[in-house]
Amino acid sequence: MPVDSEIIAAMDADADGAALAAMVRKAVELSGRSDLRFVMQEPFGFKDWNDQLRVKPVFFPAAPTPFLSPD
């Protein structure tokens, strides 16, 4: 793992997710690396990341359309 890495625990927003994030936090602490940063992320307003992703609209930039001649 590179120096000054950020360890992100992106778990569900429930008791099981919190328990798993706590295990990841403990593993980071036990690594003995003071340069690592632990960050916990949870879906906002949802229990599950998939639920949040299904509701959030996804926009893709329009691809340029080549000009077509009428020939």
pLDDT tens track for 8-28: 999 999 999 999 999 999 999
Residue-averaged pLDDT of the chain: 85
Q: What is the pLDDT of residue 15?
A: 94
Give the distance, in angstroms, between the CA of residue 5 and the centroid of all CA atoms in the same chain: 15
Separation CA 51–CA 33 (nearest Å): 34
The domain of 42 spans 6-53
Q: Tokens 């295990």 sit at which residue?
A: 23
Number of domains, the chain? 1
User: 58 lies in a domain?
Assistant: no
Please report whether residue 63 resides in a domain.
Answer: no
- Residue at 14 is within a domain: yes
Within a domain: 64? no
Q: How far apart are CA 3 and CA 17, in angstroms?
A: 27
What is the pTM (predicted TM-score) of this model?
0.69
In a domain, 13, yes or no: yes
Question: The tokens 């003995």 sit on which residue?
Answer: 32
**Has residue 26 been placed in a domain?**
yes
Domain assignment present for residue 36? The answer is yes
